[in-house]
A and B are shown apart, each in its own frame.
Chain A
Amino acid sequence: MSVLIIAEHDNNILKSSTLNTISAAMKLSDDIHLLILGSKIENLSKNTQSIHKVSKILKCDNEKLENFIPEIMAPIVSNIAKNYTHVLAPASTFGKNLLPRISALLDVTQISDVIDILSENTFVRPIYAGNAISQVETNQNINLLTIRPTAFDKCEESGGSAPIEDIDFLNTDTPTLFIGREVSKSDRPDLGNARVVVSGGRGMENSDNFKLLYELADKLNAAVGASRAAVDSGYIGNEYQVGQTGKMVAPELYIAIGISGAIQHLAGMKDSKVIVAINKDTEAPIFNVADYGLSSDLFQAIPEIIKELDLLNKIES
């Protein structure tokens, strides 16, 4: 048994979702190969050699792979997939975009969003926004899995010394042109793996008020998240959405502010260790999953929390 992992990266840095996926692979095999498809990835590949438990780095370096067009990537992966019992990718928009194309080329049914691996062919995945958990078995020659990053710890990044092997680039003509990417720049931790997440909902009322939330997030060294209602209303960008059709998060502390708690939002955050809900509506369903609930006007509560945190920091320093 050997496992191929398709690395998620930006041509410079490996995304942490890849490290979670490697941890998942460790439940399957000791022979784990990491496939890096990209452009000018010499340094990136070298930096991944030390990852614990990875036995080989496969590198496909071509300028046509710079923007991760799935039409170009999929045939390269499917060409080597037959050497493996399992092909894994993170269940991020990167993996979701790519792996089903490989499933088509291999004529194999993919298992999406795996949260546990029980054996080499038995997997656990959430369905219905996590309101039901399905255990599935497959007897296909190749198992194609996307892995939910929050369900597995990040693997160690040191201790290994995997060799790098170049693999063939196969050209696929496609009319698709990459035009650009609008990426919000922030010094805050990444939403997918922050220790603390502070999320705002419709109760924030407008984008200006989100500044208050950013201030609180910075006090806690937290990432900022949002409900779909807040994103749809234009208070904040889509990359912040937590929920069934947004991002899945499982931080140590999740603070939901002005979020009512629709099941689609709960799907994205209910695996958080500690949940705090602040909402003036005492009937809001978010309180049913919160460890600590505070019924209060958020515009009073947030400044008060910031003040208390400042006080706490002063006492400790």
Chain B
Amino acid sequence: MKVLVAVKRVVDYKVQIRVKADQSGVETENVKMSVNPPDENAIEEAVKLKEQGLAQETLAVTIGDEKAQDVLRTSMAMGIDRSILVKSPNSLEPLAVAKTLFKIIEKENPDLVLLGKQAIDDDANQTGQILSAILNWPQACFISELKIEGNKLLISREIDEGIEKLETNLPAVLTCDLRLNTPRFASLPNIMKAKKKPLDVIDISTLGIDTNPKIKVLKVEEPTKRKAGIMVNDVKELIEKLKYEAKVI
């Protein structure tokens, strides 16, 4: 089995983001960037499948500028065998991302595609589902458990009501929830080793897909900030405030 993992480079989850003064977007220059957190779960799952002998080859793909190589090196330091950077000068909408991944999948023929369930920058939660539809493969989103028996996948996925269990077959597209596994830290020797693993670069213009945005961002603003309220001294005061001031109990 060959596993392909899609990875996105995003502003680190610990960074307090800043909206640009001209309202054109969010400041990403001189900000710590990292692998999108649920994508790390996808990487971890792929590496585990290889360690269990279920996967023979693992491959990470990202789309972005030169700097996006970082997240591929991180993926390989975590244990992914090789990677592909699809070089794109612009950031793409999920539909274009899925079309790009489709082109790579046509060439690479993986049996299983793993993605994070959403990117923590645009919070769109779309790419895996779109990709699955374009491929006409089964989808399972927000998965928190995966068992593979031969060609069969046994899946638990997190839904609003609790957990849903599905069974499906390879090939398939799965999007990973944060609770699927605990991503490993890359050790220093593995970071060094990852520098020698193959990283191919493909220019997005060679793939022959329409990547023009269909949505125009008019402006990006700061949300209205909540004002910090008051500290109460004890429970009695809290109850009084909620009853007579806020009138919510």
A42 at the interface (CB under 8 A from B): no
B94: A residues at CB distance < 8 A: 100, 103, 109-110
Chain B nearest CB from A81 CB (Å) reads 14
A256 at the interface (CB under 8 A from B): no
Residue of A74, A126, A127, A309 ringed by the most chain B CB atoms within 10 A:
A127
Residue of A130, A137, A175, A304 ringed by the most chain B CB atoms within 10 A:
A175
Contact of B226 with A275 in the complex, beta carbons under 8 Å: yes
B214: A residues at CB distance < 8 A: 108-109, 138, 140
B166: A residues at CB distance < 8 A: 176-179
Contact of A196 with B223 in the complex, beta carbons under 8 Å: no
B161 at the interface (CB under 8 A from A): yes
B238: A residues at CB distance < 8 A: 276, 292, 294, 305
Knowing A132-B26, A273-B248, A275-B226 are in contact, say whether A231-B179 is a contact too (CB < 8 A): yes
Residue of A101, A108, A304 ringed by the most chain B CB atoms within 10 A:
A101
B234: A residues at CB distance < 8 A: 294, 296, 304
Q: Determine which of B98, B160, B217 lies in contact with A94 in the assembled complex, contact meaning CB atoms within 8 Å.
A: B160
Contact of A104 with B133 in the complex, beta carbons under 8 Å: yes
Contact of A175 with B163 in the complex, beta carbons under 8 Å: no
Q: Determine which of B144, B165, B179, B235 lies in contact with A181 in the assembled complex, contact meaning CB atoms within 8 Å.
A: B165
Q: Of all chain A residues, which has the CB nearest B131?
A: A104
Q: Determine which of A136, A179, A196 lies in contact with B215 in the assembled complex, contact meaning CB atoms within 8 Å.
A: A136
A207: B residues at CB distance < 8 A: none
Chain B nearest CB from A101 CB (Å) reads 4
Binds B, one of A30-38, A52-60, A151-159, A237-245: A237-245
Which interface class (under 10, 10 to 19, 20 to 34, 35 or more) fits A?
35 or more
26 contacts between A and B (CB under 8 A): A94-B159, A99-B129, A100-B133, A104-B98, A104-B130, A104-B133, A107-B95, A128-B120, A128-B121, A132-B19, A134-B217, A137-B216, A138-B214, A174-B168, A175-B168, A178-B165, A181-B163, A290-B229, A291-B229, A292-B230, A292-B241, A293-B228, A293-B231, A308-B235, A308-B236, A312-B243
Q: Of all chain B residues, which has the CB nearest A239?
A: B162
Chain B nearest CB from A137 CB (Å) reads 5
Which interface class (under 10, 10 to 19, 20 to 34, 35 or more) fits B?
35 or more
B134 at the interface (CB under 8 A from A): yes
A192: B residues at CB distance < 8 A: 160
Chain B nearest CB from A68 CB (Å) reads 9
As a 0/1 sequence over residues 141 to 157 of chain A, the CB contacts with chain B under 8 angstroms (1 = contact) are 00000000000000000
Q: Of all chain A residues, which has the CB nearest B230?
A: A292
Q: Of all chain A residues, which has the CB nearest B10?
A: A128
B70 at the interface (CB under 8 A from A): no
Complexed CA–CA distance, A252 and B242 (Å): 11
